[in-house]
Every structure is written in C-alpha cells, then in structure tokens.
Structure 1
C-alpha cells in the first residue's frame, strides 16, 4: 500500500518542482502528469496536494527555514517540493498521518532519493508532532500586487486575500438543451450528491465539496459542465437576441460560447482564438455537449480583424479579455508565481487594442460585453472609462446587482462573494 501510495506523491512533487522552481504552468504540468495515473483517486490526490501547496507555500517554506539549519541547495529543489507535499497532507488536507508520512518517505525512494528518505521522515514526524508555523494568508503574494489591491479595494483587501487562499466551491452549468436544472438536481440527489440552487443563476448548481467530473451523472453525455457562477453570468450580461450574429473574440476554452448556444441554438456564433491547439479543445467541448455544428472558428489574432472577419457586422461581441487573472487565484494559485508588475502595462495595451479593433466589427445598435477575471481597476474600470472617452458612439448600459458592485461604467465581483470568482463586466452599446 505504501509503495502504491508513493507514486502520486512523487508525481505531485515533480509537478510542484516544475511550477515552484522552474516557472512552469500548473495547468500544463497537471495535463501532462495526471494521465500517468490510472486510478481517478490518485489523480484527485495529486491535484489536491498541488493546490494545497500553492495556496500557502510561505507556510511550508517557513517550516523548512525553522527546522533546517542550512537552506537546501538548488539541486535539491525536487526534495523541497516533496517535503511541501508531505506538509500539505498533514496540514491543509488532514490526511491520516501514518499513511501520509509513510507514502511520502517511500516517494523519496521513488524519486531516486533513498539517501534523503530519513530526512523526509524526520521533518514530517516533526510537523506531525508540532504542527506548522503560522504565517499570514497573504505572505506569498507579491508586494506590488498587495499594494495594488489595497489601493483599489482598501475596505476589502483582507477579504480578497483570505478568499483567494481557500478551496472554491464547484459550480455546475446544466445544459438546458438536455434537461432542466431541477431535473438534473434530482439526478444528483439520487446519486447522493448534495447541491445548492441560486435563484439568480438559472442554469447553475453549487457543490460545496468538489468531485471528479467522471462521477457527475451524465457528464460524458453533455448533461452538465463545470463553470464558475461568475463566468455563467456572462450569458446574462451579453443577452443576445434570438438568431443574433455573435462573436466570441477570445473563445477558448469555449465555456461561455457553449452556454450561449445551450440557451439558444439559433445564434450564429463566430469564435476566434490565437492558439490553434486551444481551438481543438473548444471543438472537443462542443462535441461533448452536442452543440456548435454551425460555429465558425478562426485561429487568428482577434485584434487584427482583416485576417479573419468577413466584413459582416456582429450583433453582439463578447470580449473576455486577456488579463492578470487576479480574480481567480483560488483556482489558479500559480498566478502569484508567474505574474509580474511589468505584465500589467502590456495587458492593458492588449485590452485597449482589442476593444478598439472589435468595436469596428459591431453593428450599430449592437452590444459589446467587456469582461475579465481580474480585480484590478486598471484593467477594468479605468480601461472601460478610457475606451468610452475615446469612442463617441459607445455608451455604457447599466447592469444590476447580480453582477457585483458598481465600478465605473461596469460591475465588479470580488473573489468569494456569493461563492463566486472575481470578475468584471461592462456592457457597451454602439449608437
């Protein structure tokens, strides 16, 4: 049992080493690592360990600094990641100590570090006896980013940091082409899965205990998708008319366009993404949901309409713009490792370029929805205010409180509010 349990711990250590010490993406590393594990329980364990570590790496670093006289050399970065794997099992995940320690020690041998197995055992036993040092929830946040959040949201800074450090609920989007939300809720109940309904979200169900999608009734047949409630609200904010010609300018991974098509099969959707491989995943998602036969997909730069646009104006445009992703740190905790202050100027320039270029593709009377998963005003409120100031035929239309608090011409949801991710929405009409 210990040897069997060592493999997922060793894989988690390799993933974390790549992310923490070599600048790799957690999503990309998991996509490569998880298929190596046949048992879905092992795959779930690896994911749980990686997220637990990346939500509070400063806590585990503090333990090493307190308990090891000399810092581990760079060549032992994999060992450091494995120790974090052990700490997370005892701390955040609260796994059975004996199994967690024994399997993690065995993982040292699996990683070819038999000579360091004793050190792993000693440090994990100490963590079991003494617990881990207490550190602030925001200790691993870059100073520049904490300062931005404090400036933008002075009354909410502590809440934002705290909400970004915990595991989020799992939100489902029921495919109304197949059945109603109430009917799917009955299927969950019959399967012994507890779910909550939010009256303001007509297609959503909330699971406070996340689970593997394979265990969801009908997932493989397209009955349901996983999508945060804040992202589901995009369909309500855009609200295209039946039969409308719709552009999703940054379509991958495709969840928002899929939601629109699940609601209205008459929509004529065009999707653009700069990454052709990501468009393959969009097609795969549409196939599972049995939608999107008439969707036109272009691997192109949305900011260069001449390379993909046929010149026929769109009735509705969704610009889910590239952003800092600061509203989804709880789902992508490695954002804090990879984001730099210098990135924000480049992102703001890209956002402005996309707004200006896509506005030209919108028909008079049409609507453009500008959305981000950022909580920084420079990407949201200020970006939209600047666009309105330079675009005489653009007018902001109000959105109601379902979309969060008023923020300039748009609405801002902060992480954790009503269980949702951080998200910004601005609805712009072309006069």
Structure 2
C-alpha cells in the first residue's frame, strides 16, 4: 500500500468533500502497520497545515489545474511538496515514492507529469518560497477571512503569533484522576515507565500533566483502569472553574465527548446528579465510554441544548457548564482541517446559536446558581462580545471572578494557542442573582 497515495485520498476527502480529518484519517489508517500509520498522519496533518502555500506552488508549476477524477493527483503532488519542504525524507525517496503513488491511484499515465512537477519544484523552490512569503494567507497558511478577523481582534503582530502557533504540533496533555492518585504520584508512575512529563504552569490545573513526547494511550500506566485521561490543559480548567459542590444538580450541556463531564465527577463525586446532554447522538457514545472506563455515573441524554423543554424534567440546576458550539479557532493546531472547513459566514450562525443556548439554559438555573460559559474559540464575537451582550440583556446575571487566582470580574479569560502550552479557550463565569 502506497502511503502517499493514501494521504492524497484522505486529503481529497477532507478538502473537496468536507469530511473532518478525525473521520477520514482513522479509516485510512486501519490496515496500516504502526510505521506507515504514523507517516500517513504526519503527511495529512502537514499538508493541511500548509495547504494554501502548497497550492500556490502547484498553480505556479502547472499550466492548468487537475480537476474531476484527477483531483486526487493534485493532492498527491502536494504530499510530494510537503515531504521535500518539511520532512527529513531524502528528496530522491520523496519524489520516487510519490510518483509511484500514481499507480495506487490508478493513474499511471500521469506518472511523468507528477515527476516533472516535483523536479521543477526542486529547481525553483527558493524563488517560489520568496513569492509565497509576500502574502499573509500564504505566509501563515490561514484563509483570508480568518486572517482579517484575527488581525482586527488582536492587531497584526499578535495575530501573526496566533497563526504561527496554529501551525505547530500540539502537545499531549494528561488529566490525572485524583480518585486514584495525586498528580505527583502519577508523575512518578510516568517516570518509572520512562515517560517524561511536566506539571501545568497554571496552579489551578492541579490534575494536569504535559508529556514531553506523545505516546499511545495504552502505554500510560493504568489507562484502562481509569487512572488517567487525555485532555488538553485548557479544557481541564472547565471543571475547576465550575466548582461543583456536594449535593449539586449539574448540567453539562453540549457534553460530547465527555471529558469535562467526567472531570467534574472526579473532582466532586458527591454531587446529587450529573446530566450530560448533547445534540449529536453518535458522539454521546463517547460520553458513555468515558463514564464506563472511569466507572462514573451520569444521566446521558440526546437533546438540543437550545431547546431544553424537549428533555428537561423540571428540576432547576445548581451549576451548568455551557460548552457552546463554536468555530474551534482555538484548537486549529490539533485540527488543522478546521480552517479549511469553516467559512466566514459560519461565525454569525454560531454566535446566534450560542446566544440561543445561553438564554435557554439560563432559565433552567436556580437563583444563586452558576453557569460557566466556555468555547474553544479565539474570536471575540463568540466570547467577550457574546457575554457582554448577554449581560446587557439579563438584569439577573452577574459576571463573577473565575477563581481566586484569576479574579478579574470585568471580563472572562481568553487563552490563546500555546499560552502555557495549552489550546486556545475562553471562559466566563456567570451567577444568577437570587
């Protein structure tokens, strides 16, 4: 099986057919050996991180674009470019294996064309790179609409930093289950397994460890026994900020895949009930799998968070986690396909949905109760401006400090990609006036 051809197929599915990488890649990896599985992931992630730049090189070297049934060949060429630019694979091997991919894609007649384009690139690489660096969309490998939004929100310098971080590989974070071990105890277990790790910089992230190098989850001590889970450090802050107390009735809205649900239960096992709701029935399977592995209990409901009347039993909640659907612009380094699957017009629709969910859930919160609003976005429309508008429309809502450490009540907390090595995230904590 030609791994370059497999990569071209996956990329075609993502870019041309709109499939998510998390959907297309595992299916393609299923029958590969570990070495080829890893290479396929590197090639797919790498091309998606650098897509417009590679597209530019392809347009510059070809008289006309490849369309229709030949479109997969376009992505095969991009895979070749990526190897030549960003990997240690010798150029002769990268070219040879990529050219051989034409057979696997059932287009052996295009072998000469692919070979010619790749060899032309080797000759003209320096000049083409200089031209690409003159355009922000090519230099930072982000779509123009997102470049404009980031520059408008943060200024050119900080926007450039955000986009640069988006193009890096995200680290692997672990969440230690304190029902079984303290973080220090589990860190010792990792050391014994020769897995180096670092404590989170943020003191509030008391369960978080960052691995020096990513590893297979089944190599983690006690993974199947529920001693540890994989979850980014920024996402782990949600359960700490929610601050569940004994006897609370808690709702985790938009809960899939369930990381925040189970973390809340790990921190406070004496709540009255955890209700986990999500509109995606297939993703709720992941929530139940997480609960089962960690031997925790929750009421899992398939339902629309913006329409609680369809599933709510009438009991007001003490605390609500509103992990709202968003643009996911804070986790692009983990999901490089997001920037190509999203459209500028999506943002207004997402803002309207977030507003609808916030208002619907607020009515199901007890007086004196807490709602924690969270997104994995870095766009102000979905975050600070969304909360500002909500507070202006609700006289019974007060923005309160997230914690003693992060005690600004004038705004939520916006984390940017790679801030303290974490993903981009936003949090705001609201209390319902009694």
Worse-superposed segment, 151-160 or 213-222: 213-222
* Whole-Å separation in 2 of the counterparts to 1:402 and 1:73: 55
Q: 1:145 matched to which residue of 2? A: 146
Q: Select the residue among 274, 281, 285 that pairs with 2:286.
A: 281
Q: Distance in 2 between matches of 1:249 and 1:35?
A: 32
One of 254, 258, 275 as aligned partner of 1:270: 275
Q: Map 1:9-28; keep pairs closer than 5 Å.
A: 9-28=4-23
Rounded Cα–Cα distance in structure 1 between residues aligned with 2:218 and 2:82: 25
Distance 1:79 1:29 in 2: 18
Could you tell me which residue of structure 2 aligns to residue 428 of structure 1? 430
The equivalent of 1:224 in structure 2 is: 228
* Counterpart Cα distance in 2 of 1:11 and 1:242: 51
The SS at the match of 2:221 is coil
Structure 1 unaligned residues grouped into runs of 5+: none
d(CA) in 1 for partners of 2:216 and 2:280?
27
Contact 1:218 1:224 in 2 (8 A): yes
Secondary structure at 1:365's aligned position in 2? strand
Q: CA deviation at 1:374?
A: 0.9
Q: CA deviation at 1:94?
A: 2.6
Q: In structure 2, how many angstroms separate the alpha carbons of the residues matched to 1:290 and 1:10?
A: 42
Provide the rounded CA distance (Å) in 1 between the counterparts of 2:52 and 2:88: 18
The SS at the match of 1:248 is strand
Matches of 1:408 and 1:193, distance apart in 2: 41
- 1:233 aligned to 237, 241, 251, which one? 237
- Local SS of the residue matching 2:161: helix
Cα 1:362/1:146, change in 2 over 3 Å: same
Structure 2: gaps of 5 or more residues: none
Relative to structure 1, the CA distance from residue 407 to residue 245 in structure 2 (aligned partners, 3 Å threshold; closer, same or farther) is: closer
Q: How many angstroms does 1:276 deviate by?
A: 1.1
| 1:117 correspondence with 2:122 | no
Aligned equivalents of 1:171, 1:342: Cα separation in 2: 32
Question: TM-score of the superposition, structure 1-length normalised?
Answer: 0.91
Decide which of 313, 318, 327 is 2:316's aligned counterpart. 313
Q: Equivalents in 1 of 2:213, 2:60: separation in Å?
A: 34
Check whether the contact 1:248–1:269 (CA below 8 A) recurs between aligned residues.
yes
Residue 94 of structure 2: which of 95, 100, 105 is its match? 100
TM-score of the pair, normalised by structure 2:
0.90
CA distance in 1, matches of 2:399, 2:245: 18
| Aligned-residue offset at 1:362 | 0.9
Give the Cα–Cα distance (whole angstroms) in 2 for the partners of residues 181 and 25 of structure 1: 34
Q: Deviations for 1:7-51, whole angstroms, at most 9, x for unmatched residues? A: x322221110111222222122124323233x2332222222111
Deviations 1:215-246 (A, max 9, x none): 33333333222211110111111111123211
User: Hey, what's the Cα distance between the residues in 2 that align with 1:176 and 1:91?
Assistant: 44
Deviation of residue 106 (structure 1)? 2.6
Tell me which of 23, 26, 34 is aligned to 2:29: 34
CA RMSD across the alignment = 2.3
> Structure 1 317/70 Cα, relative in aligned 2: closer, same or farther at 3 Å?
same
Provide the aligned length of Structure 1 versus Structure 2: 422
The reply to whether residue 209 of structure 1 matches residue 213 of structure 2 is: yes
Compute the displacement of 1:89 (Å).
Answer: 2.6
1:246-292 deviation digits (Å, cap 9, x = unpaired) = 1001100111111111222223210110111111111112222222x
Q: Which residue of 2 aligns with 1:259?
A: 263
Deviation at 1:355, TM superposition (A): 0.7
Partner of 1:157: 159
Q: What is the CA deviation profile of residues 48-94 of structure 1, one whole-angstrom value per residue up to 9, with x for unaligned ones? A: 21111111112211221232233323432101111222222332233
When residues 112 and 407 of structure 1 are mapped into structure 2, their CA distance, relative to the original with a 3 A threshold, is farther
